């Protein structure tokens, strides 16, 4: 989906501004008195309270926002965000955008604070009986006027009884009257912590010394171009940039995550600890919104049936992504089935090319392989190697990935070397992958940045025995998973 930027000459600026105001007039005509009150509340951080109190229509608020340079024809994102929060996304047509486009821009462009959004969402879920009980509990501090849930929360905020860092009163009210609302408060706390962590990381990056010499090439020029687009706060250009650089993650479901978990073999050693890996992968990708299917001790014929099933699965059409994990023994460029047939990784991945699986075309297809890619070595008692002696000559690693766009192959180790697995705690690679997905998805990091952190983590493990993972990919855009609303607890499974 693309977003067309309307070009116009400088001589037609007045007509353009007039056209924008006419579109704002259309939005105003579709917002009733209740919506105006909601809009006032959501704009409390942008417009003075006195000005908002005097505002009688949405147009008054729009004027204030334009005076504050928060709303313009070039950058109407704040209004688009407000309309989405208020569930008036049908009015986005007057801003020449869609709900999906706004949603994809939120991680980098959002302006409404988490605290303001929390209070608004709580006000929408507090029914009349709950409101009556809450008012009763704090009656002494409230004026004797009729209140809505929104004005009630607004009064608590005005009296400094609640703020972004102090939700004690609000939590006590919700626990006493409407415990179901605590989920929203817990979600807010998690998102606030993630936001602050990202801010701290940005401050560290800014304080780092800049390189003394830099000769930008094609990639550098592109990066500067993208930076200029975003820094200009041009909403339409930002939409184009986001759509061009990030895969969509807003369809009906996230997609399937298939896990092949081979523990037992005919003559090869048992892969103790692999069930820990499978469980952690299940927890993490479930948390990310995937539908999980685990297959244990898969023979060659069974694997072919599994591949055919997902190659033709009708639900791919409504999914964002596809993940396929293989936990087994292996050698360079291939993995072993439980009946010890050697299956090329490329053969597995080839089932999901655009030609073989059209419903996954233009969608990211991620494959994670926990298996050795080289000859077996002698290990300590608690460490095993997922290795079988390799062929004398090995093809290039890139040959393992189909020559098509949108694939990622994450290998536990570089070609020619073993990968390690603890008998009780699971493999170094899968455990690091789960840990950094858990830690970095809430920070809006893309999958390649996450795999870079995995590389660093795994490369530091061990003393005399070392391991270096390696991703190979033909991705065209960034894979950034939406931040899950629920907290992920991995500690009880030692996924850390």
Active site residues: 329, 372
Give CA–CA dist 143/239, Å, rounded.
Answer: 45
**CA nearest to 313, candidates 268, 365, 266:** 365
**CB 397, CB 460: distance < 8 Å:** no
Where does residue 380 rank: exposed (0-12), middle (13-18), buried (19+ CB within 10 A)? exposed
Beta bridge partners of 255: 321
Closest C-alpha among 118, 227, 139 to residue 183: 118
Q: Classify residue 4 by its DSSP letter.
A: P
**Residue 472 near residue 411 (C-beta atoms within 8 A):** yes
- Identify the sign of the CA torsion 46, 51, 57, 59: negative
Q: Is 200 exposed, middle or buried (0-12, 13-18, 19+ CB in 10 A)?
A: exposed
Contact indicator for 283, 488 with CB cutoff of 8 Å = yes
Which token pair is 399? Answer: 């040959």
Alpha carbons within 13 angstroms on the beta-carbon side of residue 489 total 1
How far is it, in rounded angstroms, from Cα 155 to Cα 27? 28
Structure tokens at 430: 């899968």
Q: Closest Cα partner for 321 from 292, 279, 290? A: 290
Say whether 371 sits in a helix, a strand or coil. Answer: coil
d(Cα 134, Cα 130) in Å, to the nearest integer? 6
Rounded distance, CA 245 to CA 222, Å? Answer: 11
Burial of 381 (0-12, 13-18, 19+ CB in 10 A): exposed
| Spatial distance between the Cα atoms of 227 and 372, rounded to a whole number of angstroms | 40
- Give the 3-state secondary structure of 440-461: HHHHCCCHHHHHHHHHHHHHCC
């Amino acid at each position: 989906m693309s977003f067309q930027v309307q070009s116009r000459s400088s001589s037609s600026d007045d007509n353009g501004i007039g056209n924008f105001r006419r579109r704002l007039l259309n939005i105003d005509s579709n917002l009733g008195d209740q919506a105006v009150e909601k809009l006032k509340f959501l704009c409390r951080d942008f417009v003075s309270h006195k000005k908002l109190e005097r505002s009688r229509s949405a147009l008054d608020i729009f004027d204030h926002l334009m005076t504050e340079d928060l709303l313009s024809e070039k950058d109407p994102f704040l209004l688009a965000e407000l309309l989405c929060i208020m569930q008036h996304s049908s009015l986005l047509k007057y801003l020449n955008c869609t709900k999906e486009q706004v949603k994809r821009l939120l991680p980098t462009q959002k302006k409404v604070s988490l605290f303001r959004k929390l209070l608004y969402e709580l006000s929408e879920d507090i029914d009349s009986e709950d409101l009556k009980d809450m008012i009763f509990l704090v009656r002494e501090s409230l004026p004797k006027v009729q209140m809505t849930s929104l004005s009630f929360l607004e009064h608590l905020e005005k009296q400094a009884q609640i703020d972004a860092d102090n939700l004690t009163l609000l939590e006590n009210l919700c626990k006493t009257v409407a415990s179901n609302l605590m989920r929203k408060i817990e979600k807010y706390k998690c998102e606030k912590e993630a936001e602050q962590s990202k801010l701290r990381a940005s401050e560290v990056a800014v304080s780092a010394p800049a390189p003394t010499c830099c000769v930008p090439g094609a990639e550098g020029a592109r990066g500067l171009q993208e930076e200029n687009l975003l820094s200009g706060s041009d909403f339409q250009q930002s939409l184009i940039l986001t759509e061009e650089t990030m895969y969509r993650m807003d369809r009906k479901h996230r997609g399937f995550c298939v896990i092949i978990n081979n523990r037992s073999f005919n003559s090869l050693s048992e892969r103790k600890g692999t069930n820990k890996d499978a469980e952690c992968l299940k927890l993490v990708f479930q948390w990310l919104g995937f539908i999980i299917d685990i297959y244990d001790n898969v023979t060659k014929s069974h694997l072919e049936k599994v591949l055919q099933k997902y190659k033709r699965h009708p639900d791919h059409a409504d999914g964002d992504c596809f993940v396929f994990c293989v936990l087994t023994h292996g050698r360079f460029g291939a993995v072993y089935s439980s009946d010890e047939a050697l299956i090329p990784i490329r053969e597995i991945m080839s089932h999901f090319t655009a030609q073989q699986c059209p419903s996954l075309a233009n969608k990211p297809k991620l494959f994670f392989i926990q298996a050795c890619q080289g000859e077996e070595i002698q290990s300590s008692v608690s460490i095993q190697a997922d290795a079988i002696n390799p062929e004398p000559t090995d093809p290039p690693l890139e040959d393992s990935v189909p020559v098509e766009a949108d694939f990622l192959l994450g290998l536990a180790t570089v070609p020619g070397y073993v990968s390690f697995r603890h008998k009780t705690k699971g493999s170094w690679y899968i455990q690091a992958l789960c840990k950094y997905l858990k830690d970095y998805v809430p920070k809006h990091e893309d999958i390649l940045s996450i795999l870079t952190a995995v590389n660093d983590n795994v490369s530091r493990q061990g003393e005399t025995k070392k391991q270096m993972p390696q991703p190979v990919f033909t991705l065209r855009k960034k894979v950034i998973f939406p931040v899950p609303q629920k907290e992920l607890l991995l500690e009880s499974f030692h996924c850390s």
